[in-house]
Amino acid sequence: MPVPGPGYSITIRVEAPPSASAAGDLTSAVGRVGGVITAFDVVESHADRVVVDITCNATSAEHANEITAGLEELPGVAVRKVSDRTFLIHLGGKLEVHSKVALRNRDDLSRAYTPGVARVCMAIAKNPEDARRLTIKRNTVAVVTDGSAVLGLGNIGPAAALPVMEGKAVLFKKFADVDAWPIVLDTQDTDEIIRTVELIAPAYAGINLEDIAAPRCFEIEARLREKLDIPVFHDDQHGTAIVVVAALRNALKVVGKPLEQCKIVVCGVGAAGSAIIRLLLHKKPADIIAVDINGIVHAERGDLDSNLESIAAHTNKDGMSGSLHDALVGADVFIGVSAPNLFGAAQVATMAKDAVVFALANPDPEIDPLEAQQHAAVVATGRSDYPNQINNVLAFPGVFRGLLDAHAHTITDSMLLAAADAIADVADGDRINASFIVPSVFDAAVAPAVAEAVRKAATTKD
Ligand SMILES: NC(=O)c1ccc[n+]([C@@H]2O[C@H](COP(=O)([O-])OP(=O)(O)OC[C@H]3O[C@@H](n4cnc5c(N)ncnc54)[C@H](O)[C@@H]3O)[C@@H](O)[C@H]2O)c1
């Protein structure tokens, strides 16, 4: 059942009689319909009335309406205005440009702009690598989307994707001091996307592809990696894979199983699942069984595209066929990046002893975590209201910080694995247990540790 959260936080301005019981009546009315009050401010006080701002969390837009209606029903109470705090922080967008140089007089102007700037231009024309030293390229990443697979909202297009991309840029800045800028493209044509990113690349030291639907995302990333001399990273793939590999290392430590002896079921072989499988294969598990909407992936299935063909070639050693439920029997680990409510406690009971269940479909996981806990030893989800949240923000800011610091031209799986180990290390030690396999997204140690690990991996010659 959803709990009231800050994603649906509203401030309701109400006028009420100045009686001794007014505050109690108002807060009880909110509580009666399940709202959670986070602030109560008297903004005006008169002989005949008080005006109060009640800020509270709801579970949905409909629930916010119910809370408002509950207040309106109180005798003598009038609702003046309802502000949705999430919409308020989006007014005019979440980002702006600040100048790093002062322009106080003609001297400053001559250095920051013409004629002085011309000498800097010529230095870069002579030695293009100087762009990293003398321009914003040094610290800037493009967050590129076509709006085709935005959160769980689907293909909502570039303009509607912009608030998510702005949010991503804010996270880059907050956690790793990376200047990221959203680029939302008004095309979903693979060739056009690739050509556009190629054309804008000179100003950036890295490209973060975001919310581009599978299977198009695989080709776009692969071709851009070939064409560009800066790292290209699709966060929905590799950010997820890094955090899953980190969490799995610690989960298996909790249950005392070596990864090399584990049978792992990965349900969902889209952007996230394919990247998770590819990164996990470096760890040489006993076997991985991939499952998608059409069942277990095996070479003879007859409906495989090139991505699934390559997955089939490296997984499912015994050529097993069947459903997710078949795959789960005897499995040590379940990793779900697919769809909500695919199985229950009965299927977890068929898994091996001390099973690990990562049910990451958002917002509703493959199995209710409380059901999974009946038989699994460690459970993780993508949600912030349960322990063990698998969240890409643990990875991408530090990954790009490390790439930028190393002046990296490419990104490799060794860098991704180094990032995973760094995240796992931050949580490891005497802190890990079944409810703590990954650090908090607000743990200030994570991004610097990931950055350093990636920087080292990027500057180490194999
Ligand atoms: N950190 C996280 O928690 C995290 C990160 C990435 C993705 N996710 C979640 O994982 C899910 C998938 O994301 P994606 O970007 O890879 O999507 P995608 O569309 O690229 O892939 C979805 C995959 O799930 C499979 N699938 C769909 N319905 C299924 C069913 N009923 N049974 C089995 N397989 C089914 C599809 O066949 C496909 O392989 C989403 O819910 C997303 O929010 C969570």
Ligand 1 pocket test: which of 151, 238, 292, 364 has the largest number of ligand atoms within 8 Å of its C-beta?
292
Residues forming the active site: 113, 168
CA distances from 379 to 148, 176, 254, 285, 442 (A): 30, 29, 11, 19, 21
At residue 440, the 3 state secondary structure works out as coil
Ligand 1 centre distance from Cα of residue 49 (Å): 53
DSSP 71-112: HHTSTT-EEEEEEEHHHHTTTT-S-----SS---SHHHHHHH
CA distance 329 to 265: 10
Residue whose Cα lies nearest atom 9 of ligand 1: it is 361
pLDDT of 254 reads: 97
Residues constituting the chain: 462
Atom nearest to 337 CA in ligand 1: 10
CA distances from 21 to 16, 71, 77, 358 (A): 10, 14, 12, 48
pLDDT of 322 reads: 98
Q: Mind listing the pLDDT tens digit for each residue in 190-212?
A: 999 999 999 999 999 999 999 99
Return all residues near 174 (Cβ < 8 A) that are at least 6 apart: 397
CA distances from 339 to 166, 264, 343, 365, 368 (A): 26, 18, 10, 7, 12
pLDDT of 1 reads: 64
Q: Distance from CA of residue 413 to its chain's centroid? A: 19
* Ligand 1, residues at Cβ distance < 6 Å: 149, 152, 214, 236, 240, 267-273, 291-293, 324, 337-339, 342, 360-362, 382, 390-392
Residue whose Cα lies nearest atom 30 of ligand 1: it is 293
The answer to whether 386 and 364 are in contact (CB under 8 A) is no
Atom nearest to 383 CA in ligand 1: 3
In one-letter notation, the amino acid at residue 259 is L
pLDDT of 461 reads: 64
Ligand 1 centre distance from Cα of residue 153 (Å): 12
The answer to whether 238 and 416 are in contact (CB under 8 A) is yes
Atom nearest to 274 CA in ligand 1: 16
Exposure string of 116-136, with b = 16+ CB inside 10 Å and e = fewer, is eeeeeeeebeeeeeebbeebe
Ligand 1 centre distance from Cα of residue 380 (Å): 15
Q: Mind listing the pLDDT tens digit for each residue in 355-364?
A: 999 999 998 9
Query: Which domains, from first to last, does the chain contain?
Result: 5-88 (3.30.70.260), 106-230 (3.40.50.10380), 236-462 (3.40.50.720)
pLDDT of 86 reads: 92
**Residues lower than pLDDT 70 in the chain:** 1, 461-462
